[in-house]
Amino acid sequence: MLYAALKDSAAASAAMKPQAWVDSTGDNYVFTELMAAGSSGRRVPKAMLDAFPRDQLSLMAIMSSGADAEYGVSPNMALADSLSVRANRAGTSVPYLERQFAWNTGRPSRAGAMRKEAGTPKSMSDDVLSALTWDGDSVVAQRDRAWRVVACASE
């Protein structure tokens, strides 16, 4: 429903000129358009990417890569990568979000390297969420082992 609404809104705003992308209430049509492009796999004009608020590029990369399987759309990885690169070039990359982006796209080593670069300590919550949610081979093995241990201890 969300994406369907966004697509409708994006179609309506597609013909608008860049200066009209922010309306009187502050709603950002660029955001809407990028969301629609991210969910449909469409390419977006460079001018639109340039117009997007730089401090939100990392978040947009995440959202573009967040495939919405429920609504039958695929992630636009080309757009997501482009936004991520732009965020880094602009110096507005949000390390936490960029790590999530790397994690989400199956690049856990990259995510780990970024965490070291940022000087962020490996936290307990990172480990916990990794163990519970990540489906990489090694973590799945670790997670399953823990389940077996708890099950055996109670028998």
Partner 1 sequence: MALFHVGLWAFTRGDTATVMRTRQSLAALKSPTGRSWLRNESIVYDDMLGAYLAVARKSTDARARLAQLDSMLRNAPSLDDRLNTLMNSLLADLWERIDDPARALAANRRFHVGLEMGRLSSTRIRREARLLERLDRPREAIVAWRSDVALRANAEPSLQPDLAQAKANLARLEVKVR
Nearer to partner 1, 15 or 152 (CB): 152
Nearest CA among 132, 62, 145, 51 for reference residue 100: 62
CB of 19 to partner 1, least distance (A): 26
**Binding characters for partner 1, 13-52, by CB under 8 A (x = yes):** ----------------------------------------
Q: Provide the H-helix boundaries in 28-136.
A: 29-40, 46-51, 57-65, 77-89, 95-104, 108-118, 124-133
Give the DSSP per-residue string, 76-101.
-HHHHHHHHHHHHHTT---HHHHHHH
Nearest CA among 86, 109, 89, 85 for reference residue 99: 109
Q: Cβ(64)–Cβ(75) under 8 Å?
A: yes
Nearer to partner 1, 13 or 104 (CB): 104
Binding positions for partner 1, 57-96, rule CB under 8 A: 62-63, 65-70, 72-75, 77
Size of the site for partner 1 (CB under 8 A): 52
Find the binder of partner 1 among 18, 45, 53, 136 (CB under 8 A): 136
Examine residue 9 and tell whether it contacts partner 1 (CB under 8 A).
no
Examine residue 1 and tell whether it contacts partner 1 (CB under 8 A).
no
